[in-house]
């Protein structure tokens, strides 16, 4: 059981346990401390004793590197009894990993792209799960890294089921299906692939916009149903509502990578493009030849077609609702290829039925997988829906998976979060309020950044001359180590076969991204 035994009231404490802590980087067997060790005295509440179990016996050279969750180790008669503190693990800036950590693809069943990149540093497995209830117990207990698409959601409760997880990489740009703050509090880095599928999503967005204006879908459907369109009157009936594009105003909400790509494409078709993005620095609009709107209301009032290209968070859920729809121009179009939660589908369905919105195209939906037979949109007219596929092409899929695998490799062979290229919760990781911060000046050179953050008072250090008073946490741990260790010079660590250098790893995404 990995449940936290701490409860209400004061716990009786057993005598301090003398522990010899051997420290190793755990990266391909390289040592950070040579043969040095420091003696730690850790007061252990009686309630904890049954939650501390002897996992196995190994030689000192294997210490810590074999167990991602290992917090303390006891040396007895030249063998090492590795003991795991089975409770809530502290956040980890960097630390030892198993020589071949387990990497799991949670919601997929094909690892052929990831395997060549990770096979020399990790064991790769797939789960093909839709929720954590479907994930194998071995993955929950042992996985150090997790890869996932958009089809599985990881809440705080889900994240707490993973016992050794250190990094999550979302194969794609959006990460709203992972609770990034909770992950940071649990010491788990969350990464994404922000440049993935930019071209595909932009192309699909423009395709949907053109479809709404030229009504290609409805004309095709009319012919399939046997409608004749030979006379001018018949053509007018079938193609009614088709509009000229040149001179129309396209309003883009969110001018990130995809938003910019859509804007450039739309200008080529004759759209005048305006945008609203409160997070974008001033001046970008000048370089792209766009017009910036100061408020969302300004954009809605001046747009003939509104296209959503922003991430979903707690601040913009149902950004398009009954109130904002009433601020749009009568008969405007709406396109959403970002996240379904941005649009209140009940309000949209009502607006389509009343004609306030002339047509809408949605690639994403509040409930996925989407079905026309259920939900508020089932009877809505002038609606195009696709099943969250705007991101997909074979090339984009392979590129995203390769970059996600490279990010996992950087986590395994480097430092977390410093070596990660696209860590989206790095600030949360470094500022987790319940863990004491590390001052750079107090870190001994031999630590090389591999420092666990322990809660205050958990670890006391016995310096030469006796047992000290109550420690203050990791600062006393580092101080005790620094006084007893002679600095050791290590040769530069050679990269593993196939491991990219920093310059090579950064080549594939331009600096402006």
Hey, what are 157's tokens? Answer: 């409760």
Tokens linked to 417 = 């979060």
How many Cβ atoms are within 10 Å of 78's Cβ, its own excluded?
A: 7
What is the Cα–Cα distance from 477 to 28, expressed in whole angstroms?
Answer: 25
HEC secondary structure over 65-83 = CCCCCCCEEEEECCEEEEE
Q: Under a CB-based contact definition with an 8 Å cutoff, are residues 227 and 331 in contact?
A: no
Alpha helices in 311-414 (DSSP H): 322-327, 345-354, 394-413
CA–CA separation, 129 and 107 (whole Å): 5
* Distance separating alpha carbons of residues 398 and 392, to the nearest angstrom: 10
Residue 408's contacts (CB-CB under 8 Å, 6 or more residues apart) are 103, 114, 118, 122, 145, 147, 167, 169
Other CB atoms within a 10 A radius of the CB of residue 270 amount to 12
State both tokens at 35: 């043969």
H or E segment at 265?
Answer: helix 257-268
Provide the Cα torsion 424, 430, 435, 440; round to 10°.
160
CA distance 61 to 68: 15
* Residues known to be catalytic: 339, 368, 388
């Amino acid at each position: 059981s990995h449940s936290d035994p701490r409860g209400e009231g004061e716990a009786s404490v057993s005598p301090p346990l003398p522990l010899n802590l051997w420290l190793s980087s755990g990266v391909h067997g390289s040592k950070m401390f040579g043969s040095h060790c420091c003696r730690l005295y850790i007061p252990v509440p009686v309630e904890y004793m049954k939650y501390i179990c002897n996992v196995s016996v190994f030689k000192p050279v294997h210490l810590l590197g074999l167990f991602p969750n290992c917090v303390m180790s006891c040396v007895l008669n030249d063998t090492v009894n590795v003991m795991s503190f089975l409770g809530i693990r502290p956040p980890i800036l960097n630390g030892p990993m198993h020589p071949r950590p387990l990497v799991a693809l949670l919601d997929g069943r094909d690892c052929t792209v990831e395997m060549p990149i990770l096979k020399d540093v990790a064991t790769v497995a797939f789960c093909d799960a839709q929720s954590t209830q479907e994930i194998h117990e071995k993955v929950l207990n042992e996985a150090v890294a997790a890869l996932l698409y958009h089809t599985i959601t990881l809440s705080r409760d889900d994240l707490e089921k993973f016992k050794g997880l250190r990094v999550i990489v979302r194969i794609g740009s959006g990460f709203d299906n992972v609770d990034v703050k909770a992950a940071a509090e649990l010491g788990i880095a969350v990464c994404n692939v922000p440049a993935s599928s930019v071209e595909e999503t932009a192309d699909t967005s423009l395709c949907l916009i053109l479809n709404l204006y030229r009504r290609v879908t409805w004309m095709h459907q009319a012919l399939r149903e046997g409608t004749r369109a030979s006379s001018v009157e018949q053509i007018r009936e079938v193609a009614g509502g088709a509009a000229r594009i040149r001179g129309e105003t396209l309003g883009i909400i969110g001018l990130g990578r995809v938003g910019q790509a859509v804007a450039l494409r739309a200008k080529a078709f004759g759209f005048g493009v305006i945008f609203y993005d409160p997070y974008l620095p001033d001046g970008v609009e000048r370089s792209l030849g766009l017009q910036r709107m100061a408020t969302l209301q300004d954009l809605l009032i001046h747009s003939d077609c509104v296209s959503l290209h922003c991430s979903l968070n707690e601040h913009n859920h149902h950004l398009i609702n009954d109130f904002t729809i009433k601020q749009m121009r009568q008969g405007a179009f709406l396109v959403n290829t970002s996240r379904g939660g941005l649009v209140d589908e009940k309000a949209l369905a009502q607006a389509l039925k009343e004609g306030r919105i002339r047509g809408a195209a949605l690639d994403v939906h509040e409930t996925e997988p989407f079905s026309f037979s259920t939900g508020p949109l089932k009877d809505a007219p002038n609606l195009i829906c696709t099943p969250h596929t705007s991101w997909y092409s074979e090339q984009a899929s392979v590129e995203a998976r390769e970059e996600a695998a490279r990010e996992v490799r950087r986590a395994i062979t480097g430092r977390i979060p410093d070596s990660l290229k696209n860590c989206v919760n790095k600030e949360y990781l470094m500022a987790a309020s319940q863990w004491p911060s590390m001052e750079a000046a107090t870190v001994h050179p031999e630590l090389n950044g591999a420092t666990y953050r322990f809660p205050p008072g958990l670890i006391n250090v016995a310096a030469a001359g006796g047992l000290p008073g109550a420690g203050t946490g990791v600062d006393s741990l580092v101080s005790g180590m620094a006084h007893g260790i002679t600095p050791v010079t290590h040769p530069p660590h050679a990269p593993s076969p196939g491991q990219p250098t920093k310059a090579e790893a950064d080549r594939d995404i331009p600096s402006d991204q």
